[in-house]
Structure 1
Amino acid sequence: MSLLDMVKDAGIIGAGGAGFPTHAKLASKAEYILMNGAECEPLLRVDQQLMELYPDEIIKGFEQAGRFVEAKKAIIGIKGKHKKVIAIMRERIEALQVGDFVEVKALPDIYPAGDEQVLVYELTGRVVPETGIPIQVGCVVINSETALNIYNASLGKSVTETYLTIAGDVPNRLTLKVPVGTPIMDVLKLSGIENFANYTVIDGGPMMGPVMTSLDGYITKKNKGFVILKKQHPLIRKKSITADQAKRINRATCEQCRMCTDLCPRYLLGHDMQPHKMMRAMQYKPQDAEGQQTAQLCCQCNLCELFSCPVNLYPKSANVYFKGKMAEQNLRYQRTKDEFEARPVRSHRLVPSKRLIARLGLHDFDKPAPMTDMEMNPEVVYIATRQHVGAPAASVVTVGQTVQQGQLIGKIPEDSLGAAIHASISGTVVESGNDYIAIRRA
């Protein structure tokens, strides 16, 4: 069986949060394979600890993927501040005798260093075209946990668990391995908080993660962490604003200073993403989706909204608004060229992580979240059939059926992009619907 088939059968998806099926990425041939070990979202601590604890497995999985796509070079990107992790990875690369193929490069401590297109530029000097993907400049990008899952897949192990960080204004900050389908509330209570009436939870990092309106969900393969803050925290108030409220504030207040554009990561890579123009259009041409097609270039990193704007407006929301208008009218941005160069001012406009954390009001919570070997044993898991990009998995089990941990319970529909799902615990199937497959522990 080829590595591609093993990855596909194991149900591996991008573990960095996007959830794109990994077998689809590895189906291309590339000049470079890059590993995203930046973990640029504040407070999250998964990737650095995985590389420290499982360096050999991650390097081997990364090397296997790189050989499969016939890359000439495999580059691991880690922020330079993580000196211990870099030293461990470099030492193990030499010990495994793969130094001629795999290397570690230090990344600047900026946000968003982990953005796929920023990572490609920092590690190779190449700029992904507007609306493009890394393979268009000869690169395949995977995350460090994804590399670990690829190694496990080569041993016949499917993805039934994910690693995530619990952080924020909590007594206990920690990182741990959690079975897919575990109730989110069971995980959140490990923070030391029992009553969440005065708290709000961000699903993922504080920059791109959405505010959770309900805590009744279940862990998926692409969960990376939860940031728990008191409801009155300024970041929670900012992220809780509605689209209509953001639109009214934008139309009334924007002074066209263009700071949102000047610090935009995609603009600095040479793309025509200019949020200040979306803000202007919101004031004067709110229905003109055709004239605002550059909104589709927004990667929604939220830097403009949570850092750049000096008066706390909502440029990203303006981009999202026009993206929605474009979708309604079936419009798609058409780039006018295929070769791009980073703007000369880029190096002077990068946003340091420390400044970002201070601006977000998270300085007091930027502390270690150590990996724990605590085992979670949920009585019932609800495994989502759609926890990845593409079509939902099609159930291959029935209510009353006994399944073993790691057993296939949902397959990729014929001729579709998707990912398989597997039982995260051994037990009996108690629900098999369109959205979830529930298993009660034996």
Structure 2
Amino acid sequence: MDLLNMIRDAGVIGAGGAGFPTHAKLTSKAEYILLNGAECEPLLRVDQQLMEQFADEIIKGLEAAGRYIEAGKAIIGIKGKHKDVIARLRERITALGLETFMEVMELRDMYPAGDEQVLVHELTQRIVPEASIPLKVGCVVINAETALNIFNALSGKPVTETYITIAGDVPQRFTVRVPVGLPIRDLLSKCGVENLADYAVIDGGPMMGSILNSLDGHVTKKSKGYVLLKKDHFLIRKKSVNLDQARIIGKTACEQCRMCTDLCPRYLLGHNMQPHKVMRALSYNLEDVKEQQIAQLCCECNACELFSCPANLHPKSVNIFYKRKLAEEGVKYQPTPMEYQTRSAREYRLIPSKRLIAKIGLTAFDKPAPLTPTDFQPEYIEISLRQHIGAPAVPIVAVGEQVQAGQMIGKIPDNSLGAPVHASLSGTVQEIRNNSIVIRVGSYV
């Protein structure tokens, strides 16, 4: 079995949050394979610790993927502040005899260094065209944990676990290896908060993550962090504004200062993403949404909404509003062929991570979250069939069937983009729902 089939059968997807099936990403040849170790979301601590503790495995997983796509160079991008991790990676690259193929490049401590297109430019000086992907400029990008999962796939080990940081206004901050399908409540019970009713929980990082409407969900392969904050915290109040409210507020209060545009990471790369123009459209009640196609260039990093806007408005939310309207009408942005160049002011408009953390009120919580061995013994797990971009997995087990940890329980639909799913713990299939498989864990059967 070749590498691509091993990765596919192991259910490897983008572990950084996007969830794109990795086997599909590796079907094309490229000049560079880039490892995204930037982990630019405040408070999250997964990738930096994995790269230190599993350096050899991640390096070998990256090498395997790079050789498969016939890349001439593999580059690990990591923020320069992680000096011990950088030293460890460089030492292991040399020890493994890969110094002519692979190198570590230090990134500036700015947001969003982990945005795929920002990362490509920082590591290669190339600019991904508007509405395109890194492959267009000869690059394939994978996440640090994805590289670890590729390494595991080489020995036939499927993705049944993920690494998650628990952070925020909690007594115990930690990073932990978690079985996929674990109830979120079981995970949050370890952080030392006695009454979760006083808190809101952000699924993912503070910038791009969204507030969970319920804590009754389950961990997926692309879960990366949960940030707990009191319900009256600025960030929670800001993220609680819905699209309709954001649209009304923007319509009445935007002063067209264009700070949202001037600090936009994609605009600074030379793209035509100009949030202030999208905001302006609200004021004029423009009915023809085709004129707002630039909204589709938004990467939803939230820099405009949580850092740039001096009036505390919601440019990102307005972009999402127009994105949805454009999708409903089947309108897709058509870029004008051009040579892209970064804006001349880019070097002076990068957002320092520490300033961002202070702006969103998280300085007091910007502390270590050490990787901590933790034993989870849930009564049941619920494996989502929609953990990835593409079609949901198709169940291949039946209610009442005994399954073993690592067993494939959902396969890729025929002729579809997708990824299989596996049981993370042994037990008995209790229920098969539209989008998930519930397994009662062994000791509770």
CA RMSD of aligned residues (A): 0.7
> Hey, what's the Cα distance between the residues in 2 that align with 1:371 and 1:6?
28
Offset of 1:378 from its aligned partner? 1.4
Correspondence for 1:25: 25
Could you say what secondary structure the match of 2:229 adopts?
strand
| Equivalent-residue separation in structure 2 for 1:418 and 1:285 (angstroms) | 40
d(CA) in 1 for partners of 2:238, 2:338: 37
Alpha-carbon distance, 1:438 to partner: 1.0
Deviation of the 1:339 alpha carbon: 3.1
- The match for 1:398 is 398
Counterpart AA for 2:211 = V
Query: In the alignment, what sits opposite 2:416?
Result: 416
CA distance in 2, matches of 1:441, 1:208: 33
Query: Does 2:420 align with 1:431?
Result: no
Letter in 2 for 1:340: Y
Is 1:43 matched up with 2:56? no
Q: CA deviation at 1:263?
A: 0.2
Q: Name the structure 2 match of 1:270.
A: 270
Q: The residue matched to 2:235 in structure 1 has which SS?
A: helix
2:332 aligned partner:
332
Cα distance in 2 between the residues matched to 1:339 and 1:22: 29
Please give the secondary structure, in 1, of the residue aligned with 2:197. coil
Task: State the percentage of identical aligned residues.
Answer: 67
Equivalent residue letter for 2:415: D
- What is residue 80 of structure 2 aligned with on the other side? 80
Q: Please say if 1:226 is aligned against 2:226.
A: yes
* Aligned residue in 1 for 2:90: 90
Q: Note the 1:365-404 alignment, pairs <5 A.
A: 365-404=365-404
Paired position in structure 2 for 1:348: 348
Q: How many residues align?
A: 442
2:100 aligned partner: 100
Please report the TM-score for the alignment, with normalisation by the length of structure 2.
Answer: 0.99
Contact 1:78–1:106 (8 Å) recurs in 2: yes
Which amino acid counterpart does residue 4 of structure 2 have in structure 1?
L
1:302 match: 302
What displacement does 1:139 show? 0.3
Taking the aligned partners of 2:76 and 2:242, their CA distance within structure 1 comes to: 39
Which residue of the partner structure matches residue 141 of structure 1?
141
- Higher mean alpha-carbon deviation, 181-190 vs 372-381, is at 372-381
1:208 is the counterpart of 2:208: yes
Segments of structure 2 that go 5 or more residues without pairing to the other structure are none
1:256-277: per-residue Cα shift (whole Å, max 9, x none)? 0000000000000000000000
1:128 aligns with 2:119: no
CA contact (8 A) 1:177 1:375 kept: no
Structure 2 CA distance for partners of 1:183 and 1:286, relative to 1, 3 Å? farther
Structure 1 position 434, deviation (Å): 2.1
What amino acid does structure 2 have at the position aligned with 1:415?
A: N
Tell me, in whole angstroms, the C-alpha distance in 1 between the residues paired with 2:346 and 2:386. Answer: 38
Q: Please name the residue that 1:7 is paired with.
A: 7
TM-score normalised to structure 1 length: 0.99
- Aligned amino acid, residue 345 of structure 2: V
How do 1:163-178 residues align onto structure 2 when only pairs under 5 Å count? 163-178=163-178
SS in 2 for 1:229: strand
Contact conserved, 1:162 with 1:222, CA < 8 A, in 2? yes
Which amino acid is 2:138 matched to?
G
In structure 2, distance between residues paired with 1:439 and 1:339: 53
Question: For residues 435 and 287 of structure 1, what CA distance do their matches in structure 2 show?
Answer: 37
Segments of 5+ residues of structure 1 without an aligned counterpart are none
Which residue number in structure 2 is paired with residue 59 of structure 1?
Answer: 59
Preserved CA contact (<8 Å) 1:7 1:23: yes
Asked if the contact 1:128–1:134 (Cα under 8 Å) also holds between the matched residues in 2, the reply is yes
Distance 1:380 1:338, change over 3 A: farther
Give the superposition deviation at 1:341: 1.5
Residue-by-residue CA offset, 1:12-43 (whole Å, 9 max, x unaligned): 00000000000000111000000000000000
Tell me how far apart the structure 2 counterparts of residues 340 and 327 of structure 1 sit (CA, whole Å).
26
1:238 correspondence with 2:219: no
3-state secondary structure, aligned to 1:414: coil
Matched, 1:184 2:184: yes
Q: Residue 90 of structure 2 aligns to which amino acid in structure 1?
A: R
Question: How far apart are residue 338 of structure 1 and its match?
Answer: 4.8
Deviation at 1:287, TM superposition (A): 2.5
- How many Å apart are 1:286 and its aligned residue? 4.2
Q: Deviations over 1:69-107 (max 9, x none)?
A: 000000000000111110000000001111110100000
What is the match of residue 161 of structure 2? Answer: 161
Which secondary structure state, in structure 2, belongs to the residue aligned with residue 197 of structure 1? helix
Cα deviations by residue, 1:108-145 (Å, 9 ceiling, x for unpaired): 00000000000000000000000000000000000000
| Contact 1:89 1:104 survives alignment (8 Å) | yes
Question: Residue 159 of structure 2 aligns to which amino acid in structure 1?
Answer: V
Report the 3-state secondary structure (helix = DSSP H, G, I; strand = E; otherwise coil) of the residue aligned with 2:440: strand
Query: Which runs of at least 4 in structure 1 moved beyond 6 Å after TM superposition?
Result: none
